């Protein structure tokens, strides 16, 4: 396997067939019959010249999942209602609400069908008025399969069809797991690769996988550190709402609670605070693990699939030819620990920040080897930007706090001004680091730009994915002989800036990557 990967110099988008076919046909002789059977039975609906496409319903158990939430609500409400004082009117209302919800779920299920045609998939809704949503199959850019705990207990899965900005998206909530797998296979296989589709169950080739000790990196990212607050907040909110509904909350009780909290001895408060501080990283690791448990990236059928999650198992398929680049991101803490996050830049992927994720936190070497397998080696080393960029980075870091400080002085708020002065001083090393992180590079096939410090991002983009160049120069930049080159890409954020390059390097860099576009406008 390693040999294959080393040998791949060209962008991976053009070789889906080569790796698969020999092994796939070998598999056909042997241990195949069970797996493809369910697919074989139904895929008659999509074969050219085959049977008329069949309108399919969602899985009959779907309404159970839908109703489960209401059921839980009912049980909670019922228990609470009984505890408060027998069956109250509110309780009956809840019961009726549940009944209506139940009927609604059943009717929704009965009136929703989907049909996989040769060139499109149609989602037909006929509950209140009719609506048909048609997604052309060549527009489909990704098929995600996810399942909540309830879905997994019942063997169901949600299929999310993503069709880019103009094609819209569709959701099938829920179908059986086999049907989900079949749909993914059918929908992601393009018409041109009929041979590939006919091949039996393609093998999955694991590209990367979370190792158990990497989950400890969670607190570094900062994003998960606040989860205890969020959890406590939502728990308190729910409790408050629930007890408010049942008249448990009165003014007296609230005031008593307030007095009790204020009356707590200082020691207890301090201990509570310390406990909370300890809980923050621990909780962040737990939540991170819940979301990213057994994070696995594998390749199958010309797609890169990322699977993750403990309770809700989520899998995102990214069509290989639509992966036009990767993004490596980290913050100063992660940099100290050598930890990087990896994401894919995929054309027409909604919610790319979450769904394009390839590794949530991993050592730099692991991230780089995965990046190499998904896209190819990132160009290195980076070319540093000229000295003028440094003063500009520092000025821009210091200016906002300094400005606020001046305003504070004018407004006669000395303490705010002191605070601003401290922040402004701290901003100097930040500016210097921002300068040090600036860089760009290009090899024969990919280019890369890097910027940022508190959130450093390095984008690696295939040359072929560039859709335009934008060079920006303010009056200040002009004085320093600098310019910012924005690489316009039809994936990810849409544009990745190489901030404060040398003025004459910007067109030169662009000309090196797409000489034909620049040459007519260059003068020596």
Partner 1 sequence: MPVTSVRRAHQPDGGGPRLRPPAHRVSPRAIAHWAIEYLLLWGLGLGLAWGVAAWIDDADWDGLPGWMIERVWWLPFLIGVAGVLMVTVAPVWRYRVHRWEVSSDVVYTRTGWFSREWLLVPVSRIQTVDTEQGWLERMLGLATIEVNTASHAGSSEVAGLPVAVATRLAEDLARRAHDLRDDAT
Q: Are 42 and 33 within 8 A, CB to CB?
A: no
Which region, judged by CB under 8 A, interacts with partner 1, from 176-184, 265-273, 327-335, 375-383?
375-383
Nearer to partner 1, 189 or 362 (CB): 189
Distance CA 225, CA 213 (A): 18
Residues 233-292 contacting partner 1, CB under 8 A = none
Kindly state whether residue 461 participates in binding partner 1, applying the rule CB under 8 A.
Answer: no
Min dist CB 395 to partner 1, Å, is: 16
How many residues interact with partner 1 (rule CB under 8 A)? 55
Kindly state whether residue 472 participates in binding partner 1, applying the rule CB under 8 A.
Answer: yes
Map residues 388-427 to x or -, x wherever contact with partner 1 holds by CB under 8 A. Answer: ----------------------xxx---------------
Which region, judged by CB under 8 A, interacts with partner 1, from 183-191, 250-258, 280-288, 511-519?
511-519
Q: Are 411 and 420 within 8 A, CB to CB?
A: no
Which region, judged by CB under 8 A, interacts with partner 1, from 127-135, 212-220, 452-460, 505-513?
505-513
**Coil, helix or strand at residue 333:** helix
Min dist CB 476 to partner 1, Å, is: 9
Q: Taking the chain, what is the end-to-end CA distance rounded to the nearest angstrom?
A: 48
Kindly state whether residue 222 participates in binding partner 1, applying the rule CB under 8 A.
Answer: no
Min dist CB 343 to partner 1, Å, is: 17
Min dist CB 144 to partner 1, Å, is: 20
Task: For residue 343, report the phi and psi dihedrals to the nearest 5 degrees.
Answer: -135, 160
Q: Are 471 and 482 within 8 A, CB to CB?
A: no
CA pseudo-torsion sign 489, 495, 500, 504: positive
Beta bridge pairs of residue 161: 143, 170
What element of type H or E holds 260? Answer: helix 251-263
**Coil, helix or strand at residue 146:** strand
Kindly state whether residue 479 participates in binding partner 1, applying the rule CB under 8 A.
Answer: no
Kindly state whether residue 444 participates in binding partner 1, applying the rule CB under 8 A.
Answer: yes
Kindly state whether residue 500 participates in binding partner 1, applying the rule CB under 8 A.
Answer: no
Kindly state whether residue 438 participates in binding partner 1, applying the rule CB under 8 A.
Answer: no
Kindly state whether residue 452 participates in binding partner 1, applying the rule CB under 8 A.
Answer: no
Instruction: From 277, 306, 303, 281, select the one nearest 293 (Cα to Cα).
Output: 306
Nearer to partner 1, 112 or 469 (CB): 469
Which region, judged by CB under 8 A, interacts with partner 1, from 190-198, 268-276, 377-385, 393-401?
377-385
CB atoms within 10 A of CB 457: 18
Distance CA 424, CA 444 (A): 42
Nearer to partner 1, 23 or 504 (CB): 504
What element of type H or E holds 303? Answer: strand 303-308
Give exposure, 259-289, as e/b (b: 16+ Cβ within 10 Å): eeeeeeeeeeeeeeeeeeeeebbebbbbbbb
Q: Which spans of this chain sit near partner 1 (rule: CB under 8 A)? A: 347-348, 379-381, 383-384, 386-387, 410-412, 441-444, 464-475, 477, 481, 486-491, 494-495, 502, 504-505, 507-508, 510-512, 514, 516-518, 520-524
């Amino acid at each position: 396997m390693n040999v294959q990967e080393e040998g791949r110099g060209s962008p991976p988008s053009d070789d889906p067939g080569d790796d698969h076919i020999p092994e796939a046909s070998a598999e056909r002789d042997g241990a195949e019959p069970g797996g493809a059977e369910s697919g074989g039975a139904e895929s008659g609906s999509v074969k050219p010249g085959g049977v008329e496409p069949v309108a399919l319903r969602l899985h009959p158990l779907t309404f159970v999942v839908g109703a489960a939430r209401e059921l839980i609500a009912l049980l909670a409400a019922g228990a609470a209602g009984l505890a408060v004082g027998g069956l109250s009117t509110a309780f009956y209302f809840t019961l009726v609400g549940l009944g209506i919800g139940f009927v609604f779920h059943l009717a929704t299920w009965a009136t929703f069908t989907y049909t996989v045609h040769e060139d499109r998939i149609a989602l037909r809704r006929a509950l209140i008025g009719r609506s048909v949503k048609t997604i052309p199959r060549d527009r489909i850019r990704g098929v995600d399969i996810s399942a909540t705990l309830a879905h997994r207990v019942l063997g169901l899965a949600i299929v999310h069809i993503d069709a880019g900005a103009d094609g819209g998206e569709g959701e099938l909530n829920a179908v059986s797991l086999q049907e989900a797998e079949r749909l993914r296979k059918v929908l992601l296989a393009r018409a041109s690769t009929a041979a590939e589709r006919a091949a039996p169950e393609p093998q999955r080739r694991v590209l990367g996988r979370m190792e158990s000790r990497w989950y400890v990196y969670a607190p570094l990212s900062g994003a998960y550190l606040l989860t205890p607050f969020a959890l406590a907040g939502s728990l308190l909110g729910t409790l408050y709402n629930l007890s408010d509904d049942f008249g448990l909350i009165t003014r007296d009780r609230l005031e008593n609670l307030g007095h009790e909290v204020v009356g707590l001895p200082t020691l207890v408060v301090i201990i509570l605070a310390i406990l909370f501080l300890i809980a923050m990283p621990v909780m962040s690791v737990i939540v991170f693990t819940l979301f990213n448990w057994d994070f696995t990236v594998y390749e199958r059928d010309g797609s890169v699939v990322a699977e993750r999650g403990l309770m809700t198992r989520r899998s995102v398929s990214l069509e290989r030819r639509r992966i036009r680049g990767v993004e490596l991101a980290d913050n100063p803490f992660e940099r100290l620990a050598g930890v990087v996050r990896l994401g894919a830049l995929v054309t027409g992927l909604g919610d790319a920040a979450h769904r394009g994720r390839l590794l949530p936190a991993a050592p730099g070497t692991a991230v780089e080897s995965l990046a190499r397998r998904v896209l190819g080696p990132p160009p290195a080393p980076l070319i540093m930007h000229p000295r003028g960029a440094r003063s500009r980075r520092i000025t821009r870091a210091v200016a906002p706090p300094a400005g606020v400080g001046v305003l504070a002085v004018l407004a006669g708020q000395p303490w705010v001004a002191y605070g601003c002065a401290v922040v402004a001083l701290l901003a100097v090393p930040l500016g210097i680091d921002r300068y040090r992180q600036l860089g760009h590079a290009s090899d024969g096939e990919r280019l890369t730009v890097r910027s940022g410090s508190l959130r450093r991002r390095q984008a690696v983009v295939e040359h072929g994915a560039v859709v335009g160049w934008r060079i920006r120069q303010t009056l200040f930049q002009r004085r320093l002989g600098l310019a910012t080159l924005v690489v316009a890409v039809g994936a990810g954020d849409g544009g990745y800036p190489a901030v404060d390059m040398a003025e004459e390097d910007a067109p030169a860099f662009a000309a090196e990557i797409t000489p034909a576009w620049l040459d007519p406008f260059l003068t020596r």
